Amino acid sequence: MDTSPTAHPEISSESGSEIRPAAGGAAGSRDTGRDDFRRELGQQLRVDSVRCSAAAGSGHPTSSMSAADLMAVLLDGYLRLDLGALDDPRNDHLIFSKGHASPLYYAMLVAAGSVSEEELLTFRRMGSRLEGHPTPRIPPTDVATGSLGQGLPIGVGIAEEIQRLEHVASRVWVLCGDSELAEGSIWEAFQHAGWAGLDRLTVTIDVNRLGQTRQTMLGWDLEAYVRRAEAFDWHAITVDGHDVAAIDSAYAEAVATVGRPTVVIAHTIKGKGVAAVENQNGKHGKPLEDPEGAIAELGGVRHLRVGLSLPPGRSDGARSSGSADADVVRIALPSWPVGESVATRQAYGEALTALGDVRDDVVALDGEVSNSTGTEAFARAHPERYFEMFIAEQQLVASAVGMSVRGRVAFASTFAAFLTRAYDFIRMAAVSRADLRLVGSHAGVSIGEDGPSQMALEDIAMMRAVHGSAVLHPSDANQTAQLLAEMADRPGISYLRTLRGATTVRTPPEEPVRIGGSRLVRSGEHDDVTIVACGVTVDEAVAASVVLRAEGIEVRILDCYSVEPIDAAALRAAAGQTRLVVTVEDHWPQGGLGEAVAAALAQTPAHPPVVRLAVRTMPASATPREQRALAGIDAEAIAATVRAELSRAEGEPHRLSR
Amino acid sequence: MDTSPTAHPEISSESGSEIRPAAGGAAGSRDTGRDDFRRELGQQLRVDSVRCSAAAGSGHPTSSMSAADLMAVLLDGYLRLDLGALDDPRNDHLIFSKGHASPLYYAMLVAAGSVSEEELLTFRRMGSRLEGHPTPRIPPTDVATGSLGQGLPIGVGIAEEIQRLEHVASRVWVLCGDSELAEGSIWEAFQHAGWAGLDRLTVTIDVNRLGQTRQTMLGWDLEAYVRRAEAFDWHAITVDGHDVAAIDSAYAEAVATVGRPTVVIAHTIKGKGVAAVENQNGKHGKPLEDPEGAIAELGGVRHLRVGLSLPPGRSDGARSSGSADADVVRIALPSWPVGESVATRQAYGEALTALGDVRDDVVALDGEVSNSTGTEAFARAHPERYFEMFIAEQQLVASAVGMSVRGRVAFASTFAAFLTRAYDFIRMAAVSRADLRLVGSHAGVSIGEDGPSQMALEDIAMMRAVHGSAVLHPSDANQTAQLLAEMADRPGISYLRTLRGATTVRTPPEEPVRIGGSRLVRSGEHDDVTIVACGVTVDEAVAASVVLRAEGIEVRILDCYSVEPIDAAALRAAAGQTRLVVTVEDHWPQGGLGEAVAAALAQTPAHPPVVRLAVRTMPASATPREQRALAGIDAEAIAATVRAELSRAEGEPHRLSR
């Protein structure tokens, strides 16, 4: 396979034996040697894309070949990145929004010297860092891509962090496919970036015309893309994506553009360089049938290397974790006296503000409902670290992920119901191993009159099914503040579900509250029943217990404020000491508290019956109190269920035995 | 509150006593009486918005007041709708994408005579049809709105159905707020509608400049909106949204525009007409402080009525349900011999095509992956009923909802992982009581090398938590075909999860398969363990059972192809007759098969332990077989779990007792 390299004098034919320092952008100057090198580099990227896909027996070589010249120029001339010091904040960022062009991305890493040719050929194999679509398992990848339309929005978040919070020359380079421009999230990102004037951001669109099954909506109508980009206040440049000199000029123009992001709209040919696949439908997502012939047609295997450089400017070293001393944070947290009535969304806002007072890495983003979520308190106290994302939940989450890439501790908030809008982004954030803190207010039917469109009733299920997530639903203000501080220090995805209405403060400020924990609200030595609740239903459970005690039924109440991970030990203990478990939640029955409890107890031999109260009919408008009554999750419903189940057990003595 | 009406001669001061026939569009002609009537009608809509919000003590009157004149002209001049015959296909559609302007919407229904003033004042009360945000509980509402950015995409689906499949003059009118134009889904819809040239669609943007907490991104920069709309190939008209003559001209121009959708971009004032709230920040989403004064300032309560008319043209009567005779469908379905190896995604494509042969109400939509999902078979056989939605999953689901509004039986398919992109739309489809059939291919780690971005591992949890959903995950081709036919006749939301790789056909073609059912794959009289599986894990369970039987362990296998609703009776029966239940699924443990089983058994006294095998670590690239082994959901893992749990029970005899 290893055919001889071309005659260009600067080209090394020995792997790694000669490294060409990156040329840097040189707009306007004609440098034939530089252009020749880049053309050769482009061919190498194609060859390596073909090679690794052939070795894997799958992959997207044709989608890689179209963008090879674009990425050759970027790598050789523009990308400034210290592969040996990835936490240097001066580094540029490169995001393959078209993640299926991973062969090209890995070929670039080979050329940059951070992946060996041997490793390249492990592409898509078990254990390889070179997955089918890039993930942060292979440095310098910031975020996983592969769900189209996400790389650009995350790039927008990174660019806004750099522009508003850092004083470095770092830039963000995003490669998009043309098919993914059908995604609304792309235009949501265009709109936000244009509004924010993010001139550190350059997007290349690889307009190869062909999608998976057919031509894209716009084909090669580059001017249509220009009109759209300009309408969103971007600087747009069209270019022949196989003319390295023209590409260089375009990138130089992008770097020189101030006050606006730039999009380079490149006319390219899918499968460029190999006649058997060039510009043909039906060649998407499969290795080439004759890779040896294709490699020969492309001029053979090459071993060019490019030495990347860093942006100029002072390095302030690796960013500190920003984590303040735990005691300082705890002292800083607001607290509320037991017995007070406070909405957890308000407690969240106050606690976040206090956290921001002692930790300057904390930032907040909100979807233009900050006066509803509670985030407005933070926005007032720390306006420089507040980011308004408007009614754009995908960009909200993407920006939070982007800020976490830059080391920020980002909290993103909106109505919990509207986080469903960004579920694909949240799912992918887990693949990205991102640290993402989400806060959703207005949980459940308890919001009242606004009706079901505004009610989060599936958010616990949705967030529990995100890999490695913590799903927290505090019942009072003091729990909220402490869980917020825990979230700030926790890697991975965490979610805080808050309430519109006030609940009674029951947790003493000094009582520890932790992810994975729970709280015994009340218990006795001879409890008949355990009620497991969280959020607003804790108040309902307490009200039910008062009634039941008067009837001689002893009630234990467990507040599972951490629904995921759930406190299985506490549940097993309670189940072992009572004859009945009743769960009650302001959420659909599927995937919520009740199923989490049932699953936690499922392996326990002979646990008592678990009866699950949840919202089972589509709500409409009503007051919060009426809503809970209609849903059968209020004190009366809890008490009635306990009575009915215990009296049923009288008739079936084997049923409920302690 | 009932102040005297103005002096305009055409205005009736008695509720319902005089009805003015709608004027119809009259572009170019000046009709002072008509304009005066519309101005009065606009004031009435404002007054009624103020009244109902005041009565409710909540709501969004200021967001209603900005669009009142726009809607007055639409109602009086353009909307053609027979409120007494809502299934007439000639009816226009009116969608309030800004659903929080529900006071205005209900005020329009009062003016149209379909809601009484008494009912208007029940707004937001328990039991009222007039919910905080409109739902189909109040006719003629097609779909629920209130999650911003969804009404327009659904309107696009309705308009495409009319344009491509019907021969009627029906039009679609959508009212958008300016804040919701931050949503990418809006631009996804603009892009699709422009591409499809949907000239039956007219969108009005109520540019009142103010969002919930601040000015929008673009404020009153109407030209910026024009540039964006035109860039997406729409016809754009700007207008003073309080000048009824100008509005009339704009709508007339929209109706006359051929080949392109039209957007009317209206400069409006939030809270228009009441000085205390006009054009002020901080007045969003609350009733007016002095409603009596406001009503007086607006000229008092009026009782104008508008008689709507129908579009001209022949009515072919109400659309038939399209449902073919059940036997015909069953005969038409393809089937596969037991023992054959077929991918369920392929079976889906063939079965859908066959269904389309006998039912002409069946349509299919796909997110530009029809050769992966299997939908390409339908697209080839029935190209006139296939809709390419490109890589735009929100529009994919929205269009399917829109087509169901027009009586079509729409199947929307893409990779199951990418349905997460549209979760908010799916959630809202349930609020809309829409009939929505979703098909997600490439489930789980079993897709192999492509990696986690392409793997659906949360889709069962996500879809189970949609109100009233059916979640179906067939293990073989024959189950797939029969479940598809069941979906076609089922109201509400249903979801079919299909596999990339082939599985063994085990279900005889003549064996009934039904939503809510399950299949005993094998059972004996002295089974030790029940393995509950679905999809690809049925093959794994069968392989495990062969090994275990050789070791003397008798295995029952239950194929729960209907995960929601799950066959609780079959589960209880199996649990009662075996000493151990093991669930195994290609999905995260949260909210999937295992939790559904645990929940179904949770209330059963003394059921055997339920051990749940699921994907618990983040996958990377590997072959399908390697993936299942790494995830611990293959035959070997199942067998090992059964052995370990049964032998543990030897030491703890109380643990597993039959």
Residue labelled with tokens 């003493």: A508
> A355 vs chain B: nearest CA distance in angstroms?
23
Closest residue on chain A to B150 (Cα): A421
pLDDT of amino acid B289:
97
**Is the CB of B438 inside 8 Å of chain A's CB atoms?**
no
> Among this protein's residues, is A393 annotated catalytic?
yes
Residue numbers of A between 314 and 343 with CB closer than 8 Å to B: none
Q: Which among A132, A461, A468 has the least Cβ separation from residue B449?
A: A132
What's the rounded Cα separation, in Å, for the pair B190 and A32? 44
Confirm if B611 and B645 have CB atoms less than 8 A apart.
yes
CB contact under 8 A, B595 and A599: yes
Closest residue on chain A to B629 (Cα): A126
Closest residue on chain A to B234 (Cα): A228
**What digits encode the pLDDT tens for the residues B98-116?**
999 999 999 999 999 999 9
- What is the 3-class SS of A251-315, one letter each residue? HHHHHHCCCCCEEEEEECCCCCCCCCCCCCCCCCCCCCCCHHHHHHHCCCCCCCCEECECCCCCC
Q: What is the dihedral of CA B446, B447, B453, B458, to 10 degrees?
A: -40
Average pLDDT, chain B: 93
Q: Which among A450, A595, A630 has the least Cβ separation from residue B132?
A: A450
**What digits encode the pLDDT tens for the residues B170-216?**
999 999 999 999 999 999 999 999 999 999 999 999 999 999 999 99
Averaged pLDDT, B395-402: 98
CB contact under 8 A, A621 and B126: yes
**Is the CB of A417 inside 8 Å of chain B's CB atoms?**
yes
**What digits encode the pLDDT tens for the residues A416-471?**
999 999 999 999 999 999 999 999 999 999 999 999 999 999 999 999 999 999 99
- Residue to mutate among B105, B195, B450, with most A CBs inside 10 A, is B450
Q: Which among B395, B431, B595 has the least Cβ separation from residue A452?
A: B431
> B185 vs chain A: nearest CA distance in angstroms?
5
Averaged pLDDT, B142-161: 98
Closest residue on chain B to A657 (Cα): B605
pLDDT of amino acid A2:
36
Q: How confident is the model at residue B28 (pLDDT cuts 50, 70, 90)?
A: very low
pLDDT of amino acid A30:
57
The CB-side HSE value for A100 (13 A sphere, CA atoms) comes to: 23
Q: Which among B146, B230, B598 has the least Cβ separation from residue A454?
A: B146
In the predicted structure, residue A606 carries a pLDDT above the cut 90 = no
Averaged pLDDT, A243-253: 98
Q: How many CB atoms sit inside 10 A of residue A323's CB?
A: 12
pLDDT of amino acid A504:
98
**What digits encode the pLDDT tens for the residues A38-89?**
999 999 999 999 999 999 999 999 999 999 999 999 999 999 999 999 999 9
Confirm if B128 and A446 have CB atoms less than 8 A apart.
no
Q: Which among A147, A187, A189 has the least Cβ separation from residue B453?
A: A147
Q: Which among B125, B232, B610 has the least Cβ separation from residue A603?
A: B610
pLDDT of amino acid B442:
98
Closest residue on chain A to B421 (Cα): A424
Q: What is the dihedral of CA A286, A289, A291, A293, to 10 degrees?
A: -150
Task: Give A476's DSSP letter.
Answer: S
Helices (H) and strands (E) in chain A, counts: 23, 21
Q: Which of A160, A393, A486, A540 is catalytic?
A: A393
pLDDT of amino acid A20:
72
In the predicted structure, residue B167 carries a pLDDT above the cut 90 = no
> B87 vs chain A: nearest CA distance in angstroms?
24
Averaged pLDDT, B596-610: 93
CB contact under 8 A, A461 and B461: yes
In the predicted structure, residue A322 carries a pLDDT above the cut 60 = no
Average pLDDT, chain A: 93
Structure tokens at B279: 């054009």
Task: Give B563's DSSP letter.
Answer: E
Q: How confident is the model at residue A615 (pLDDT cuts 50, 70, 90)?
A: very high
**What digits encode the pLDDT tens for the residues A181-214?**
999 999 999 999 999 999 999 999 999 999 999 9
CB contact under 8 A, B603 and A609: yes
> B310 vs chain A: nearest CA distance in angstroms?
31
**What digits encode the pLDDT tens for the residues A284-318?**
999 999 999 999 999 999 999 999 988 776 655 44
Measured between beta carbons, the chain B residues lying within 8 angstroms of A216 are 390
Task: Give me the total of CB pairs closer than 8 Å, taking one residue from chain A and one from chain B.
Answer: 369
> B109 vs chain A: nearest CA distance in angstroms?
19
B412: left (phi over 0), alpha (psi -120 to 50) or beta: beta
Q: Over pLDDT 90: what percentage of chain B?
A: 88
> A515 vs chain B: nearest CA distance in angstroms?
17
CB contact under 8 A, B132 and A599: no
What's the rounded Cα separation, in Å, for the pair A600 and B234? 54
Q: Which among B146, B228, B376 has the least Cβ separation from residue A453?
A: B146
pLDDT of amino acid A167:
79
pLDDT of amino acid A19:
67
Q: Which amino acid appears at position B521 of this protein?
A: V
Distance of CA A425 to CAs B230, B390, B417, B615, Å? 29, 19, 11, 20
Residue numbers of A between 468 and 507 with CB closer than 8 Å to B: 468
In the predicted structure, residue B656 carries a pLDDT above the cut 70 = no
Q: How confident is the model at residue B389 (pLDDT cuts 50, 70, 90)?
A: very high
What's the rounded Cα separation, in Å, for the pair B530 and B573? 10
Select from B180, B176, B172 the least CA-distant residue to B140: B172
pLDDT of amino acid B316:
56
Q: Over pLDDT 70: what percentage of chain B?
A: 93
Q: How confident is the model at residue A13 (pLDDT cuts 50, 70, 90)?
A: very low
**What digits encode the pLDDT tens for the residues A542-591?**
999 999 999 999 999 999 999 999 999 999 999 999 999 999 999 999 99
Closest residue on chain B to A370 (Cα): B213
Residue numbers of A between 155 and 184 with CB closer than 8 Å to B: 179-180, 182-184
Confirm if A266 and A42 have CB atoms less than 8 A apart.
no
Q: Does ipTM top 0.90?
A: yes
- Residue to mutate among B458, B500, B582, B658, with most A CBs inside 10 A, is B458
In the predicted structure, residue A6 carries a pLDDT above the cut 90 = no
Measured between beta carbons, the chain A residues lying within 8 angstroms of B588 are 465, 467
CB contact under 8 A, B454 and A133: yes
CB contact under 8 A, A605 and B424: no
Q: Which of B188, B350, B393, B564 is catalytic?
A: B393
Q: Which among A127, A180, A621 has the least Cβ separation from residue B128?
A: A621
Structure tokens at A390: 């408007």
By the 10 Å C-beta count (0-12 exposed, 13-18 middle, 19+ buried), B505 is classed as buried
CB contact under 8 A, B453 and A144: yes
CB contact under 8 A, A216 and B390: yes
DSSP readout, B426-443? HHHHHHTT--EEEEEESB
In the predicted structure, residue A14 carries a pLDDT above the cut 90 = no
**Residues contacting residue A251 through CB under 8 Å, at least 6 positions apart:** A25, A73, A74, A77, A78, A202, A264
Residue numbers of A between 539 and 568 with CB closer than 8 Å to B: 564
**What digits encode the pLDDT tens for the residues A325-371?**
777 777 789 999 999 999 999 999 999 999 999 999 999 999 999 99
pLDDT of amino acid A331:
72
What's the rounded Cα separation, in Å, for the pair B300 and B6? 8
CB contact under 8 A, B591 and A461: yes
**Is the CB of A376 inside 8 Å of chain B's CB atoms?**
yes
**Is the CB of B601 inside 8 Å of chain A's CB atoms?**
yes
Structure tokens at B58: 């909540």
Closest residue on chain B to A210 (Cα): B368
